Homo-oligomer: A and B are copies of this chain.
Amino acid sequence: MKTSRIAIAGFGGVGRATASLLLSRRARYRKVFGVDVRLLAVCGSRSGAKSPDGLEEEQLGTLENGLSGPAFIEESGADILIEAGPSDFRTGGPGLAYIRSSLSAGRDTIVISKGALVHSGRELRELSRGSGAILKLSGAAAAALPTIDLMEHSFKGCEVLEVEGILNATTNYLLDAMTTRGIGFDEALREAQLDGFAEADPRNDTEGWDTACKLLLLANFGLGADLAMDDLTVEGIQSLSADRIGAWRGQGLVPKLVGRLWSENGAMRAKVGIQTYSLADPFANIRGKNKAIRIVTDAMGETLVIGSGKEPLATAAAALKDLEHVLAVRAG
């Protein structure tokens, strides 16, 4: 039986969930693809674990210091890298070094963190083309919500005319709380932080950068554009007042933080900002931590998708969907 050797770089909540889900699906991989999938190595920023025969669940709890970095992954002998580290779109790090070395070596690479893809997307696409390594990014684009899948697979042959998405769960949760309960931004944020729904430094979400990153990935990897962050207009929800929301409520309108892609004079345009929707619009009813995307194509009209997967499991499942697509190609 063919063997497929996996390494996971980045071992916080998502990396850990991905490892466990992968191990639990080994029988499926043998049955469906005829492949013996082994988890050869995992690493966080400073420590890791490895085994040439494949790690088991009970070995994932205690990591050894010093086992980390692109060279550690290289030496593990993995055929496929799943990159699930923290993400900085202004530098691409720390994922960029892992992804770059992996694609250069011809290793199929499944990316969950957005930073490197936003920062160096063109370079990584070229590395992938050059070495023949497959580069997948479902977990980065909007996790369990199918987005690039739809453009690449379900709408194949159609021209995508417009995309509109509620792509960030934290801001949707905050806006939902502000709208339905009449509380202000600061109070909603404090509650969300206490409940673990918002980060200690929430600006990446609240200022719209996370939405902008996802939008950029949809444009560049789903629709063949070549946008940089500077090409986007990005506004967040941090300055939105309870009064403003109250006034909208009086008009039957619900605010959402939305990323939009559209074509103008043959060029792709992208924008992140607050849009308001009437109650009859499905976007007005995207609740709590749900996400949604609306895609308009020339021949299939408008399609709207609402996703509500639980994290970190949903993101892990999105990355392992990518893994199955890689296995299908490589085992074929």
A residues near B (Cβ < 8 Å) are 21, 25, 28, 144-146, 149-150, 153-158, 280, 282, 285, 297, 299-310, 313-314, 316-318, 320-321, 323-325
Contact = CB atoms under 8 A, between A and B. Distances in A.
Nearest to A314: B300
What 8 A-B pairs have minimum CB-CB distances, sorted nearest first? Answer: A299-B317, A301-B309, A146-B154, A144-B300, A304-B306, A149-B154, A300-B309, A156-B324
A84 to B, nearest CB: 16
Given A156-B325, A285-B280, A321-B154, A144 B316 contact: no
A125 to B, nearest CB: 17
A280 B290 CA distance: 14
A323 B301 CA distance: 19
Copies of this chain held together in the complex: 2
Given A153-B325, A300-B318, 9 more contacts: A146-B150, A149-B153, A156-B324, A157-B321, A299-B314, A300-B309, A301-B308, A301-B309, A301-B310
Contacts of A158: 317, 321
A150 B157 contact: no
A303 B142 CA distance: 13
Contact of A303 (B146, B323, B325): B146
A300 B62 CA distance: 28
A157 B317 contact: yes
Nearest to A321: B156
Contacts of A145: 303
A136 to B, nearest CB: 12
Contacts of A285: 280, 282, 285
Nearest to A146: B154
